Amino acid sequence: MDSCLGIKISILKHYPSDHPWSSDLYGSQQSVPLLEVEIEPES
């Protein structure tokens, strides 16, 4: 496998995933504001 880089961002949720009021039932929703984060590659 070629090497790769990744980033993980955890955001505190108001309700757990199995709560009826949770809007993140699957746990993999994307956060649109994070699309604006620029990450510079290492040289």
Q: Strand (E) positions, 1-43? A: none
35: three-class secondary structure by DSSP: helix
Question: Is the Cβ–Cβ distance between 24 and 13 less than 8 Å?
Answer: yes
pLDDT of residue 4: 75
Over the stretch 15-39, which tens digit does the pLDDT of each residue have? 887 788 877 666 555 667 777 888 8
pLDDT of residue 27: 55
Whether 9 shows a pLDDT value over 60: the answer reads yes
pLDDT of residue 11: 75
Report the sign of the C-alpha dihedral through residues 42, 3, 28, 19, in that order: negative
pLDDT of residue 29: 59
Query: pTM for this structure?
Result: 0.30
Gap between the Cα atoms of 34 and 43, Å rounded: 23
pLDDT of residue 22: 78
Question: Is the Cβ–Cβ distance between 22 and 13 less than 8 Å?
Answer: yes
